[in-house]
Amino acid sequence: MDDCELRISHVATLECARPLRHALSAFMIALEVDSVLCEDVLTAVGEALANALEHAYKGHELGNVELYAKDDDRKNLFVAVRDHGNFIVRDENPGRGFGLPIVRAIAQSILVDRTAGTHVQMTFDIFSPAQAISR
């Protein structure tokens, strides 16, 4: 099977989070990713999206958030969330700041690049024994 990919760019409003997650979910369903793995990926990507949508353009003109996903022959799923806003360093706030630790706990790997906006790249192992049986 050829590699498949999903690319979406949308104005970064809080209302776009749900349709972006829905598009990623549909992409993973088309790839036949296990439903439990789908939920884990959606949780991690949802955290990265929430950070971008809530913080990237705060106090500035709205820009876009980009969601990119690509499978690697059904073994790994690469997902990136990118904004072109400003990364903010916040003071510690009890009950906040758990987004990236959640992503790190779920993703196989994560890279955060803050040089031109914020670009969060995540890799997930989507191979499961059930998928191996169905091949």
d(C-alpha 106, C-alpha 125), whole Å: 10
pTM here is 0.82
Domain ranges in the chain are 5-134
Task: Please tell me the chain's helix, strand, coil percentages from 3-state DSSP, rounded to the nearest 5.
Answer: 40, 25, 35
Helix (H/G/I), strand (E/B), else coil: 3: coil
Q: What is the pLDDT of residue 62?
A: 85
In this structure, which CATH number among 3.30.70.1450, 3.30.379.10, 3.40.50.261, 3.30.565.10 belongs to the domain 5-134? 3.30.565.10
Smallest CA-to-CA distance from 53 within 87, 83, 91, 22 is with 83
Give the tens place of pLDDT for each residue, 17-72: 999 999 999 999 999 888 999 999 999 999 999 888 888 888 788 899 999 999 98
Give the tens place of pLDDT for each residue, 89-128: 555 555 555 678 888 889 999 999 988 889 999 999 886 5
Pairing of strands 64-72, 109-113: unpaired
Do residues 84 and 56 lie in contact, with contact meaning Cβ atoms separated by under 8 Å? yes
